[in-house]
A and B are shown apart, each in its own frame.
Chain A
Amino acid sequence: MKSNIDWTALILTIGLIVVVRESAVWLMDLVGHRELGNLVGLFALLAGLLIYKHFRPLSSRLLDANTRIMKESALAFLPIAAGAGVMLQRLGHELPWVVLIMLVSTLLPLWLYARFAKRWLS
């Protein structure tokens, strides 16, 4: 069965992301703020692509490869997300209130934003 994955675009896109992120982390490490490396990488790549887009449209192969990467991005969160349940047990008597606040302050805005966005974006 022939694969429909554009491997060249996928490898180049991953390479671009890795180079930008590692350069940003290295640069921020030099100025003593390594923790800002990911954000600086995000802004640097965004700025670079917006400048590029000003002159030429972004390649559809880049966008398709990125869509594939984002679809698999759940993998990156998995070990941290699995630990959230374990950490919950350490909250003691505040646990029920913390859970209630998380439920209300996530679900109410999610519902409201969706309704507002549907009305305002159309």
Chain B
Amino acid sequence: MLLSILIGLILTVFAHAMARLAGQYWPKLPVVVISLLLVMIILAVSQWPYVEYYAAVGTIFEHLLGYVTVALAIPLAAMRLNDLPLKPLSRLLLIATLMGAVLPMGMAWLFHLSIPTLLAFATRAVTTPIAINIAQLIHAPAALASLIVILSGLIGAALSPLLLRNLNDERAAGLALGLAAHAIGTVEAWQRGPVAGRYAAFGMAVNGLLTAFWLPMAFHLLKM
């Protein structure tokens, strides 16, 4: 088991280091996507089942995820909100928290997907640790909710260089990535630079907090 943990750690760190190196030569390629593709390729080539790989390294990386969540407090505390127009910013945050739940759930309803799948889409725009908590409160399947959160984060991070290529505003790019693609989008925003990273962390955290506040209450009221 100890050997599996060591090999899993080396594999993961190697994939991350290679992706960071590739990111220096090709800055438009999202580091998260390159590194996860590298992990998947190495696992496939070495015929190491994903379940066994995750069993070896999962606990360590769940701890790391927790530290990253807590570390987001530092860029948030460093933000100077005095210079920002608070009224339009509040309007954008309100639109984002509502759209984050209503748009995917509305589409799932239109396509006649099952109720558990529809509920799992409620937390699509929220970062994983908050999404799991909300999913438990609204009785949505937590595993499917996590999958949707992670994949939509990857989609946002992977295609953001293309979608935001003519934006020329790192604050707007960061905020959009944090609001629409949460933690993985925030990681991608940090690759763009500290300004985009801080705004992404702000957008992700506030969106998560707002959604954690209204969504379980709305479900509770609708069930009454």
A7 contacts B by Cβ under 8 Å: no
Report whether over half of chain B's contact residues are helix, strand or loop; otherwise say mixed. helix
Known contacts: A39-B133, A67-B194, A83-B50. The answer to whether A46 contacts B66 by CB under 8 A is no
* Residue numbers in A under 8 Å from B117 (CB-CB): 94, 98
Is A103 a contact partner of B103 (Cβ separation < 8 A)?
no
Is B104 a contact partner of A101 (Cβ separation < 8 A)?
yes
A120 contacts B by Cβ under 8 Å: yes
Report Cα–Cα, A20/B92, bound state, in Å: 31
Size of the A side of the interface (Cβ < 8 Å), in residues, is 70
* Residue numbers in A under 8 Å from B156 (CB-CB): 106-107, 110
Report Cα–Cα, A41/B130, bound state, in Å: 13
Report Cα–Cα, A84/B171, bound state, in Å: 29
Chain A proximity of B185: nearest CB distance (Å): 8
Contact bitstring B38-80, A, C-beta under 8 A = 1, else 0: 0110010000001001100110010011111111111111100
Known contacts: A41-B69, A117-B172, A122-B169. The answer to whether A107 contacts B163 by CB under 8 A is yes
Report Cα–Cα, A105/B89, bound state, in Å: 21
**Residues of A bordering B, CB below 8 Å:** 13-14, 17-18, 20-21, 24-25, 35-39, 41-43, 45-46, 49-50, 53, 58, 62-63, 66-67, 69-88, 94, 97-98, 100-111, 113-118, 120-122
